[in-house]
Structure 1
Amino acid sequence: MLAAPVDVVPEGPGLVHEPKWDGWRCIAFRETGGVYLQSRAGRNLTTYFPDVTRTIRAAVPAGVVLDGELIVWERGRTNFAQLQRRITAGRDLLRLAHEYPAHYVLFDLLADAGGRVILDLPLGQRRARLERLLAGAPTQLTVTPQTADMRQVADWLLHWTVAAGIEGVVSKRLSGRYESGRRGWSKFRTRIVTEAIIGGVTGRISNPETVLLGRFDSRGRLPYTGRSHPLTSDQRAALAELLSPSRMPRRGAVAHPWPEPLPASWSGQLDRPEPLSYVQVDPTVVAEIDADVAFEHGRWRHRVRYAQARPDMSVYDAPLLLGEEKGYFGDLG
């Protein structure tokens, strides 16, 4: 079951809210002979998480199907990069699992012991069975917090985002059944309003479709930091008047700081990323953007929302790559 993005956290009778963890969504099948872990996209994750499969095998009876989020803690915060390292660890996988053990944070139970499917039961009943099932389980298997108290939700968004690294809040109806593939839940992402420098566009300079962004680092370089969602027609027309092609470098000057196309690895996607063809522009225009808090290793993992160009700002007024950003949490009501 999936969640539809919303701009405000919904309120009302029968609604409950859970932290949106910064990890990988995972369905766990406790089979008679072992455990099978499946990503949201259907990818087999079993071999990458021997620590989690071992714990499930020991603590969960055969037939159970669980839904939750794989996360890795480091210094009290979730660390998404440590999850990604599992895929490429190779021979270092067991050492990595020992040094940075993964946790499976559960929020739903899809099948009971013996394999009885309970998708049609209300969420409240599925949750109660999940809590009973995991009573006394190791800390690697944890039921996610849940609340109907908006004051608690506000505390999560204002404090847990920084302290624990959650991405926002998922809202659900206690009476709702589990409908695979349907966006019957709501997700509110904690967001920031900030600025970045436009270094390229997809489409044409005269009609930019998306913008590619960067920020100066402390050495004066302009690393790539992310890409926007598609621009509206009004945004395209206004931005086209400000963009100019990348200048040919003078002798001794530096060419455009990014390769064309952008390497596939820069996208940060898990499943089959591809190089991105784009048009390099002179990096002289500052963009105001709305981004979520999933920012690691100098890049936003998810696309940002382009708001407007800021011709009143110099590129040297934009935040540095390691600079502080002002948090924006939207309307909680």
Structure 2
Amino acid sequence: MELPVMPPVKPMLAKLVSSIPPDMQYEAKWDGFRTIVFRDGPEIELGSRTGKPLTRYFPELVAALAERLPERCVVDGEIVIAREGHLDFDALSERIHPADSRVRMLAERTPATFIAFDLLALGDEALLSSPLHERHEGLTRALADVTPPVHLAPATRDAALALRWFEQYEGAGLDGIVAKPLDARYRQNERVMFKVKHERTADCVVAGYRHHKSGPVVGSLLLGLYDGAGHLQHVGVAAAFSMRRRAELAEELEPLRMASARDHPWASWADESAHESARLPGAPSRWSGRKDLSWVPLRPERVCEVAYDHMENGARFRHTAQFRRWRPDRTAESCTYAQLEEPVRYDLAEILGAPPRT
């Protein structure tokens, strides 16, 4: 492979802001695997955000990209999987598997899609130093007639339309809006762009915690919500505390500490089969590897308010939640899924089928 931009490339990143900034190019924020595609004739490599190749995990995309991309190019985008008109990150995560037979089986069962949104090289020309508006115009020309499972990401310079996308697209599982300065050069691993994400709050039961890697202080709080059958389901964690606060939390929660998890609602957490019918902490996965997933059980009595961006399949927080405050006025039993705001469903095909551009 000989391209003017060679792997590995670390993608350009975005900084979080509270509102959509003016006078930029706006795109949806896709919830998938950020991927840079390198194509030199028959050779294709899919580079991840960390620089490690994803190529072997998406054989169906390699074939599709070979048919649909220009002969020699480097394209920045996102690999996603859609089910029933909605992005499914769990299905995407399952594709990272060591067994080639399972990878190929899943490639047929849950085929992936590639969303292209930036052009880093075309032919013999490197475009990293070109402004965004030129790179995007080149990408639009190069992919003018592209067909699924490869898509050109919808883009606009209309801030009002971007706001509508922000409000609508969440119902299809998208993460928010990315705003890109029109004159921005492609700067690897730098936060040049801006992202606006949804944030909501929920009252959750604090049912346990994990120790921080530095010692016997709180690393993350284990959060739970009650489902319609009255079962406490593990929905995620709250983390990102200062070291001083981690020590304070360990002291505050000590009166709730249980000698063992035997009488805890998540007592069966160590049984791998129990995870098939309930959401429990410590679910085994290829992401955790040999990581210690043990936790300190607490009597599920204390309630905290957390901020979150969105739910994955309506069952758990997609990302780490942010602790806001204790809620002594709330009972644990009142912390149910019913409190969560559910985005209005929006079909992903409406986004990708006929992308509006201005």
What's the TM-score, normalizing by structure 1?
0.84
Q: Does 1:172 align with 2:191?
A: no
Query: SS of the residue aligned with 2:146?
Result: coil
Task: Report the Cα distance in structure 2 between the residues aligned to 1:273 and 1:145, rounded to whole angstroms.
Answer: 40
The equivalent of 2:332 in structure 1 is 315
Aligned match of 2:255 in 233, 236, 244? 244
Match of 2:307 among 290, 308, 317: 290
The Cα RMSD (Å) is 3.0
Instruction: Work out the CA distance in 2 between the residues paired with 1:34 and 1:324.
Output: 50
Shift of 1:207: 5.9
Q: Give the secondary-structure state (helix, strand or coil) at the position aligned to 2:174.
A: coil
1:96 matches 2:115: no
**How many residues were matched structurally?**
319
Offset of 1:209 from its aligned partner? 4.6
**Partner AA of 1:185 in structure 2:** M
Q: 2:202 aligns with which of 194, 211, 232?
A: 194
**Segments of 4+ in structure 1 off by > 6 A?**
none
**2:340 maps to which of 317, 325, 329:** 325
Asked if the contact 1:73/1:79 (under 8 Å) is kept, the reply is yes
For 1:246, give the aligned amino acid.
R
In structure 2, the CA distance between the partners of 1:278 and 1:34, relative to structure 1 (3 Å rule), is same
**2:355 match:** none
Question: Which one is further off, 253-262 or 64-73?
Answer: 253-262
1:16 equivalenced with 2:25 (yes/no): yes
1:73-108 Cα deviation digits (max 9, x unpaired) = 111111112212222374244443234321110110
Residue matched to 2:192: 184
| Partner-residue secondary structure (3-state), 2:186 | coil
Which runs of 5 or more residues in structure 2 are unaligned?
Answer: 1-10, 271-279, 344-358
Give the 3 Å change call, closer, same or farther, for CA 271–110 of structure 1 in structure 2: farther
1:79 aligned residue: 88
Supply the distance in 2 between the matched residues of 1:279 and 1:85 (Cα, whole angstroms).
Answer: 28
Structure 1 residue 264, shift from structure 2 partner: 6.5
- Aligned-partner Cα distance in 2 for 1:294–1:16: 27
1:136 Cα deviation after fit = 1.0
2-structure distance, mates of 1:167, 1:295: 11
Matches within 5 A, 1:220-235: 220-232=230-242
Q: CA deviation digits over 1:210-238, x for unaligned, max 9?
A: 31212223343323221112235569748
Determine if contact 1:170/1:186 at 8 Å carries over to the other structure: yes
Q: Report if aligned partners of 1:265, 1:273 keep a CA contact under 8 Å in 2.
A: no
How far apart are the structure 2 equivalents of 1:102 and 1:238?
Answer: 42
How many angstroms apart in 2 are the aligned matches of 1:191 and 1:289? 10
Q: Deviations over 1:269-312 (max 9, x none)?
A: 84757224543222111110100114247332321100011110
Measured after TM superposition, the shift of residue 248 of structure 1 is 4.5
Structure 1 CA distance for aligned equivalents of residues 34 and 253 of structure 2: 41
Q: Report the identity percentage.
A: 27
- Equivalent pair of 1:104/1:140 in contact (CA under 8 Å): yes
> Could you say which residue in structure 2 is the equivalent of 1:331?
none
Q: Which residue of 2 aligns with 1:156?
A: 165
Which amino acid letter does the alignment assign opposite residue 263 of structure 1? G
| 1:263 alignment counterpart | 282
Q: 1:160 to 1:48 in 2, by over 3 A?
A: same
Distance in 1 (CA, whole Å) between partners of 2:102 and 2:260 is 43
